[in-house]
Homo-oligomer: A and B are copies of this chain.
Amino acid sequence: MPTSTSKRDHIFQSALSLFAERGFDATTIPMIASDAKVGAGTIYRYFENKEVLVNTLFQHYAALFTKTLEEDYPKDAGIRDQFHHLFQGMVRFTNEHEHALYFIKTHNAAYFLDETSRSQFNHLLMILEGFIDEGKEKEQIRGLPSKALIAIIFGGFLELFKLIRAGEVEATDALLAGVEESCWDAVRHHE
């Protein structure tokens, strides 16, 4: 059992959930260290400094999320099916990595992100924008700024998962389907 790998993982996980819950600036290295049950100095064996840590984290989960969205993407299906694929990707990804999407959403414009992180995030945006632009061309998605439409989708989705985590709502298939439908109605073209 490789101890060092598990230590790096502990640090990674603690940093992810603390950054997601409190934000980068309000999360201290001692906090991460104590949450990960390692000495403060140990963090620096695995990450050059706090900014490298947050960028590594960001890139890792942005890439993972991108992969989730791209995998088995139904290129030739209808817009609605493609939307379903994307929405299901968010659901699956959030189930597997509890804080990751919230962390990405709340930190994607932060001052400390490096070029790699920004372009990683842009790649992610472009996938979503590509979908939306294609839908606009086919007149199946309404003619609003893509970023606003993406924000609506993310906003609704993340809020839903906050409620689920808080136990205020149960994550039934019906609920998920309902929110998907709501988001879809927000973006689709109505005659």
Interface of A toward B, CB cutoff 8 Å = 21-26, 111, 142-145, 147-152, 154-156, 158-160, 162-163, 168-169, 175, 178-179, 181-183, 185-188, 190
Q: Given A23-B23, A145-B160, do A182 and B187 touch, yes or no (CB 8 Å)?
A: yes
Q: Given A23-B23, A185-B185, A190-B185, do A151 and B145 touch, yes or no (CB 8 Å)?
A: no
B residues near A25, Cβ cutoff 8 Å: 23, 25-26
The residue of chain B having its C-beta at the shortest distance from the C-beta of A160 within the complex is B148
Contact of A147 with B175 in the complex, beta carbons under 8 Å: no
B residues near A188, Cβ cutoff 8 Å: 185
Contact of B151 with A186 in the complex, beta carbons under 8 Å: no
